[in-house]
């Protein structure tokens, strides 16, 4: 199938071509004509399926066809998303199409000052991409006029519910006209999604892109059974041995993200973390460094990773298994995106076996197991040897007996690889003991 059979105009077809899309994805092929016909949509699709273009293209086309008589633009389309990252991703894609038809789109989200947003809204926009809480704030202050919204999109609706946005969404909906076209996308269907759809949609057409496709193929999955205390050596080994250069690593907590980042940096692997304690500008910078290949590894929490617009990720690692099985599907949806192949590796500690079982129940198939025993190279002495070789090879540094040469980007010499502090001195006297003693 080709894009030009979907009813899109020539400006948008050329926008699509310039993004490098040659054929519509299944969700695009089904949703675009249905949206152009004016139907409400209940779409079962997650990140990686091309759902953003599936709603952005027809909305932009229909808005572009309308004549605006008003002096100032008032929002005519509203896209609600769970996170700032997804807002940025959707907004980027929306803008790529909107500017072809001289439409203006803006992004509204929390965690930044409100004033600049108020000014942008005041100058006039056609499309608003927003997180629910901040948008409600604007609606209540009267700094956004939602009375002319004709298109409402709820993107990653399941995630918005998980993050507790249901009340905000319902309150926002009270500011919207009853007569409008509503599109709801969700990776999962729960009773609460169904209730939300009943409240907000009018006789929706249901479009389903099979979840299994994304989870099972073309992504190769494997679970490495490994003690929690050895995960860090394992991941470091896998990345180096496999020559992995673009790896997204999921961890459970922000603290865990920072800790692992520090440890991988210590191992000489260019790594940065992205999580909600980092400012938006730092997150943006990290993302662009990762996209441009300046970073090998991006460590992220689930919330921060939602909606990250990173293409063709060959490797995703679950350093911690997610507490919610659905998050596993979201996570591995980050690899093998839009037809590319990928590998999703989970490091599973004995205490995480129940989580693995819950994931397999959701997937309805087992994930192949591998054990650490298959990787004898991940051994304390070997790790140490690498460190010693590196230390010896450090240019311009004299090898001082008993003293570790300090390298840029590494923690102080008193900090062993395991991340825990030991009394200074102990490490200097017997560098071997630190690595071996931990196992």
Considering the complex, state which of residue 13 and residue 101 has its C-beta at the smaller distance from ligand AMP.
13
User: Does 311 engage in binding with ligand AMP (CB under 6 A)?
Assistant: yes
Tell me the window of 34-42, 45-53, 62-70, 267-275 that interacts with ligand AMP (CB under 6 A): 45-53
Tell me the window of 41-49, 271-279, 350-358, 383-391 that interacts with ligand AMP (CB under 6 A): 41-49
Query: Among candidates 180, 116, 112, which has minimal Cα distance to 146?
Result: 180
Considering the complex, state which of residue 21 and residue 375 has its C-beta at the smaller distance from ligand AMP.
21
User: How far is the CA of 370 from the CAs of 28, 169, 354, 367, in angstroms?
Assistant: 37, 44, 17, 10
Residue with tokens 């996209």, as numbered in its chain: 291
Tell me the window of 18-26, 121-129, 224-232, 399-407 that interacts with ligand AMP (CB under 6 A): 18-26
| Beta carbons of 55 and 30 less than 8 angstroms apart | no
Q: How many CA atoms lie within 13 A of 172 on its CB side?
A: 26
User: Does 1 engage in binding with ligand AMP (CB under 6 A)?
Assistant: no
User: Does 76 engage in binding with ligand AMP (CB under 6 A)?
Assistant: no
User: Does 186 engage in binding with ligand AMP (CB under 6 A)?
Assistant: no
Tell me the window of 49-57, 194-202, 293-301, 365-373 that interacts with ligand AMP (CB under 6 A): 49-57
When binding is defined by CB under 6 A, the residue of 100, 337, 415, 427 that contacts ligand AMP is 337
> At 407, phi and psi to the nearest 5?
-110, 155
- CB of 108 vs ligand AMP, minimal distance in Å: 20
User: Does 53 engage in binding with ligand AMP (CB under 6 A)?
Assistant: yes
Considering the complex, state which of residue 7 and residue 414 has its C-beta at the smaller distance from ligand AMP.
7
Tell whether omega for the bond before 218 is within 30 degrees of 0, i.e. cis: yes
User: Does 204 engage in binding with ligand AMP (CB under 6 A)?
Assistant: no
Residues 6+ apart with CB under 8 A from 217: 336
- CB of 338 vs ligand AMP, minimal distance in Å: 4
Q: How far apart are CA 311 and CA 215, in angstroms?
A: 17
- Give the total of residues touching ligand AMP (CB under 6 A): 16
| Beta carbons of 289 and 281 less than 8 angstroms apart | no
- CB of 235 vs ligand AMP, minimal distance in Å: 25
When binding is defined by CB under 6 A, the residue of 1, 2, 17, 338 that contacts ligand AMP is 338
User: 200-231 burial, b if ≥16 CB within 10 A, otherwise e?
Assistant: bbeebbebebebeebbeeebebebbbbeeebb
User: Does 21 engage in binding with ligand AMP (CB under 6 A)?
Assistant: yes
User: Does 181 engage in binding with ligand AMP (CB under 6 A)?
Assistant: no
Tell me the window of 7-15, 50-58, 189-197, 359-367 that interacts with ligand AMP (CB under 6 A): 50-58
**DSSP conformation letters of 278-294:** S-HHHHHHHHHHHHTTS
- CB of 21 vs ligand AMP, minimal distance in Å: 4
Q: How far apart are CA 312 and CA 430, in angstroms?
A: 44
| Beta carbons of 312 and 291 less than 8 angstroms apart | no
When binding is defined by CB under 6 A, the residue of 15, 44, 47, 313 that contacts ligand AMP is 47
Q: How far apart are CA 105 and CA 225, in angstroms?
A: 47
User: Does 315 engage in binding with ligand AMP (CB under 6 A)?
Assistant: no
Q: How far apart are CA 275 and CA 85, in angstroms?
A: 10
Q: How far apart are CA 302 and CA 249, in angstroms?
A: 10
- CB of 12 vs ligand AMP, minimal distance in Å: 13
User: Does 330 engage in binding with ligand AMP (CB under 6 A)?
Assistant: no
Instruction: Enumerate binding residues for ligand AMP (CB under 6 A).
Output: 21, 23-25, 28, 47-53, 309, 311, 337-338
């Amino acid at each position: 199938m080709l894009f030009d059979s979907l009813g899109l105009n020539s400006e948008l077809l050329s926008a699509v071509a310039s993004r490098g899309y040659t054929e519509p994805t299944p969700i695009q092929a089904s949703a675009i004509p249905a949206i152009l016909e004016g139907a409400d949509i209940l779409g079962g699709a997650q990140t990686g399926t091309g759902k953003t273009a599936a709603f952005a293209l027809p909305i932009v086309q229909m808005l572009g066809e309308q004549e605006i008589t008003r002096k100032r633009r008032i929002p005519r389309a509203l896209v609600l998303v769970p996170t700032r990252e997804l807002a940025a991703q959707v907004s980027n894609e929306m803008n790529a199409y909107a500017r072809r038809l001289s439409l203006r789109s803006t992004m509204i989200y929390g965690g930044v000052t409100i004033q600049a947003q108020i000014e942008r809204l005041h100058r006039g926009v056609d499309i608003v991409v927003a997180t629910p809480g901040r948008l409600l704030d604007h609606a209540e202050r009267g700094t956004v006029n939602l009375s002319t919204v004709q298109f409402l999109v709820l993107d990653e609706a399941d995630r918005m519910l998980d993050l507790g946005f249901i009340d905000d969404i319902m309150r926002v909906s009270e500011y919207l006209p009853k007569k409008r076209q509503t599109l709801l996308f969700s990776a999962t269907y729960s009773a609460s999604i169904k209730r939300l759809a009943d409240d907000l949609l009018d006789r929706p057409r249901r479009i389903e892109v099979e979840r299994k496709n994304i989870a099972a193929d073309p992504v190769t999955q494997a679970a490495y059974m490994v003690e929690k205390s050895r995960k860090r050596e394992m991941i470091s080994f896998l990345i180096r041995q496999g020559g992995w250069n673009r790896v997204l690593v999921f961890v459970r907590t922000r603290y865990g993200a920072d800790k692992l980042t520090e440890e991988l940096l210590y191992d000489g692997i260019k790594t940065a973390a992205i999580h909600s304690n980092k400012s938006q500008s730092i997150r943006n910078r990290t993302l662009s460094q990762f996209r441009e290949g300046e970073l090998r590894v991006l460590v992220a929490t689930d919330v921060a990773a939602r909606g990250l617009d990173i293409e063709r990720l060959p490797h995703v690692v679950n350093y911690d298994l997610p507490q919610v099985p659905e998050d596993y599907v979201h996570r591995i949806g980050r690899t093998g995106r839009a037809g590319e192949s990928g590998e999703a590796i989970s490091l599973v500690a004995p205490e995480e076996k129940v989580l693995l079982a819950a994931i397999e129940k959701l997937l309805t198939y087992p994930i192949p197991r591998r054990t650490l025993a298959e990787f004898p190279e991940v051994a304390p002495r070997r790790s140490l040897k690498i460190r010693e070789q590196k230390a010896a090879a450090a240019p311009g540094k004299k090898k001082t007996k008993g003293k570790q040469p300090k390298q840029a980007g590494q923690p102080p010499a008193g900090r062993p690889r395991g991340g825990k502090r030991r009394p200074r001195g102990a490490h200097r006297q017997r560098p071997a003991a630190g690595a071996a003693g931990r196992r």
